[in-house]
Amino acid sequence: MADGARDTAVGAVRLREAALQPFASFAAVLSRELQLAVRRPADVLNPLFFFAVVATLFPLAVSPLPQVLEVIGPGIVWVAALLAALLPLNGLFGQDFDDGTLEHYVMSGQSLVAICFAKTVALWLVAALPLVLVSSLVAETYRLPLQALPVLVLALGVGSFALCALGAVAAALTVGVQRASALIALLVLPLMVPVLIFGTRAVSLAAAGDPVAGPVYLLLAIGLAAALLAPIATALALRISLD
């Protein structure tokens, strides 16, 4: 009680540290995830190959005619990208669970929400962003007009972020479950319906030269809501899964 002033000063430092702590843990986890991705490039490349193969099958299965490809192109790119982005979800927390990292995360005394957000951002950077870039190439071969390309990249970028955020919830819920891939897909894909609807619509509108503001804003709103809320659910799900 005597040195109350000093206590207040120490308290202020603690408070500032506590306020910065989530950012520090976010940065630590993000950089480690990226470091790991560099050491294991297969994690980045396999979804890309998968995407390329799926995109190759459609002209074979449906028709290689330009007028057909033009119609089905945006939809195929979207669906193939969603499916490819599902692939790494099973390993998102699976490896951390197996090697005990997850326990350390939960018991680090740091914000688990910040850690989950870092995992989500890392997943998006490593698995989804390259996919978005490659998909714009594929869309070109499907005769997507050049003017629609920026919209495709933006929409797929936002949409794939929502997928990563929601996928992280599903991955966290199924941590430790054997052969969880199919289950994760079953949980995540129905949740992606609104993103798919607005995303493909935005691309089609852009291809036709119409204004795209409506669906793009809706997509951004969904992406933002997913970014803010999903990590909270992911953190909760992780605690439940370890209990």
Q: Which residues lie near another protein (CB under 8 A)?
A: 21, 24-25, 27-29, 31-32, 35-36, 39-40, 98-101, 103-104, 106-111, 166, 169-170, 173-174, 177, 180, 183, 186-187, 189-191, 193-194, 197-198, 201, 218, 222, 230, 233, 236-237, 240-243
What gap in Å lies between CA 62 and CA 79, rounded to an integer?
Answer: 15
Taking the complex as a whole, how short is the minimal distance between the CB of residue 144 and another protein, in angstroms?
19
For residues 21 and 136, which CB has a smaller minimum distance to another protein in the complex? 21
Q: Are 165 and 127 in contact (CB under 8 A)?
A: no
Taking the complex as a whole, how short is the minimal distance between the CB of residue 236 and another protein, in angstroms?
6
What gap in Å lies between CA 223 and CA 212, rounded to an integer?
Answer: 16
Taking the complex as a whole, how short is the minimal distance between the CB of residue 69 and another protein, in angstroms?
20
* Three-state SS at 87: coil
For residues 31 and 147, which CB has a smaller minimum distance to another protein in the complex? 31
For residues 87 and 195, which CB has a smaller minimum distance to another protein in the complex? 195
For residues 101 and 136, which CB has a smaller minimum distance to another protein in the complex? 101
For residues 111 and 120, which CB has a smaller minimum distance to another protein in the complex? 111
Taking the complex as a whole, how short is the minimal distance between the CB of residue 186 and another protein, in angstroms?
5
With a CB cutoff of 8 Å and minimum separation 6, the contacts of 153 are 132, 133, 136
CB 227: neighbour CB atoms within 10 A? 18
Taking the complex as a whole, how short is the minimal distance between the CB of residue 182 and another protein, in angstroms?
9
Amino acid at 75: G
With a CB cutoff of 8 Å and minimum separation 6, the contacts of 55 are 76, 77, 80, 135, 138
Q: Are 73 and 143 in contact (CB under 8 A)?
A: yes
